[in-house]
Amino acid sequence: MRTRTFKQEVFIEEYCLTGNAAKAAVKAGYSSNVAKQRGYKLKEQFAQQIEERTKKMLQDSVPGALSHLKTLSTDATSEAVKLGAIKDILDRAGYKPAERIEQTISHAEKSTDELKRELEALTGTSEIEAIPELVN
């Protein structure tokens, strides 16, 4: 693969920072008259490099973000902000609380006769004494 030009490198960097292909093309030195079309082509041409650079930028920003989050958890004036920061830190450390799942079971009351018919359909008999023998 060919090496990228300085303009292409600048485009990739600026696109990763702004997400705007036309603005990135202008910052890279391409004419503003063709920036939209040129930016679109460059974005398509360097999609893999843009994805890799974006991931790298995100990874590089994690320590600073964590430091800021830690500062918020201790120094924020709002208790809600402190609590939110603490929850985020704990979530990322693997201490996320279990999610509550509410399960509702609805069933209609059945009469004794209905239950006996259901029992007979399931076991082949309505004799309650015979059921332990069927189960074992």
Q: For residue range 28-58, what is the model confidence (pLDDT) as tens digits?
A: 999 999 999 999 999 999 999 999 999 999 9
Fold of the domain built from segment(s) 1-45? Arc Repressor Mutant, subunit A (1.10.10)
At 67-111, the pLDDT tens digits run 999 999 999 999 999 999 998 888 888 887 777 777 776 666 778
Domain ranges in the chain with CATH number 1.10.10.1400: 1-45
This prediction has a pTM of 0.57
Q: Can you spell out the DSSP letters for the chain? A: -PPPPHHHHHHHHHHHHH--HHHHHHHTT--TTSHHHHHHHHHHHTHHHHHHHHHHHHHHHHHHHHHHHHHHHHH-SSHHHHHHHHHHHHHHTT-PPPPP-----------HHHHHHHHHHHHS---GGGHHHHH-
The confidence band for 122, taking pLDDT boundaries of 50, 70 and 90, is confident
